[in-house]
Structures are given as C-alpha cells and as structure tokens.
Amino acid sequence: MVHLGGRDRAKLERVARLAGKAARIVVADITTRAGIAALARRTRAGLDILVHSAGLYRQESIEAINAKAWAELDAVNLHAPVILTMACLAQLRAVSGQVVFINSTAGLHAGPRTLAYAAGKHGLRAAADALRQQVSPDGIRVLSVFPGRTDTPMQRAILKAEKRTAPPGTLLRAEDIADMVLAALKAPRSSEVTEIVMRPSKPLPAGR
C-alpha cells in the first residue's frame, strides 16, 4: 500500500488514480503538528519506505532574504522531513525500513541567489547523515538523492522566473529519479546506497 501525502486533495487523488487500488491519500500540511500526526497515524499498521519529496523553492539576492520567508522554506525543506521521520521511527524500526530524502544538487553546491534554499538543503543532508549513523544498527537504511533541474511544476516556475526555456533533454524526468531510487531501495541488504547525484545528460543553455 502507498500512502500519498500533500495539502491538495485533488492533486493527490489524480496521482492515486494512476497508482490504482494500491494507493491511499492523506491530506496533510507537513509543517503542522496535525499534519505530521495524521501521516504518522496512517503508517501505524507498518511502514517499509518513507519518501520525503515535499519542497519549496525561493530564489533571491542576499539583500532580499527575510526571516519569515526563510523560516517557511526551512519548515518544509528541513524541519518537516526530520520531524516526520522521528514520528515514524518506531514503525521503521519494526521492519528495518528505509528513508529517502529528495534533496537537490543545491544541497551539495550553493549557487548564486539560492542562499536560503541551499542552506536548508545542506542542512537536510547533514540531518540524513546524522540519522543514518543513529539508525543503522536497527537495520534502517537512509538515502539522500541530489537531483539537478527536473521537469516538475517547481522547475517550470523557476524557468519562467529566469525567463529561460529548457530544450529537450536538458531537464531530468521525475521518473528517471524514481527509477534510481527504486534500484537503490532494492539493493541487497548486505549493502546500502547512501547518496545518489543525478543531473540531466545535456546542459541547459546559459540564461541571458
């Protein structure tokens, strides 16, 4: 059974339909206690794999960063995945489960105008590393994934703001990332894939 979490019921129902009878939705804002509790409650019957993919993006000059907007980014990109993992630890321990953090190449290298986003993603990498060291003895595996630009609504908004278009082959597809994550999750239990770095095979032409 797959439990799909997010705030937008209609969007979740669309994705659930693609997955067929094996999917259930949980309408939850992961920045709230109620949202975390709803997701953790749903997994009480068992949780093999927890995938953190929710994210927020902002791009701005250092002068434009403000504390409120930065806190909103960190709430989704850094704090929520850690808090949700903690809420699900007992279920994960019971079955030697696996945790996947969808990070970003910004979690490895900070670019210009991405201070707040990149700092949060660097923090998420550190959180995953610390978690892994703590839960490895329980047989839990922790994977961080660092994708480059990927064709999603988030990336389409970024390209629009940058006034750029992406020629074919210059963006990853979400399914490319899913395939790599699945391969890592299926790796024999004698091993652990801890990090995956992915980028589109063709570079995006430089912006104006």
Ligand X SMILES: NC(=O)c1ccc[n+]([C@@H]2O[C@H](COP(=O)([O-])OP(=O)(O)OC[C@H]3O[C@@H](n4cnc5c(N)ncnc54)[C@H](OP(=O)(O)O)[C@@H]3O)[C@@H](O)[C@H]2O)c1
Give Cβ neighbours of residue 136 (< 8 Å, ≥ 6 apart): 142, 192
**Binding segment (CB under 6 A) for ligand X, from list 6-14, 36-44, 183-191, 198-206:** 6-14
**30 vs 143 by CB, closer to ligand X:** 30
Distance CA 97, CA 49 (A): 6
Among 4, 38, 69, 152, binds ligand X (CB under 6 A): 152
Contact characters 38-77, ligand X, x per CB under 6 A: ---------------xxxxx------------------x-
Our finding on whether 8 is near ligand X (CB under 6 A) is yes
Residue 206 backbone dihedrals phi, psi, to 5 degrees = -60, 145
CB of 152 to ligand X, least distance (A): 3
**Residue 78 near residue 127 (C-beta atoms within 8 A):** yes
Distance CA 55, CA 173 (A): 17
Helix axes 80-87, 115-135, angle to 10 degrees: 20
- How would you class 75 by CB atoms within 10 Å of its CB: exposed for 0-12, middle for 13-18, buried for 19 or more? middle
Judged by CB under 6 A, the chain residues 87 through 106 that form the site for ligand X are: 102, 104
**95 vs 126 by CB, closer to ligand X:** 126
Our finding on whether 85 is near ligand X (CB under 6 A) is no
Contact positions vs ligand X (CB under 6 A): 6-8, 11, 29-31, 53-57, 76, 102, 104, 147, 149-150, 152-155
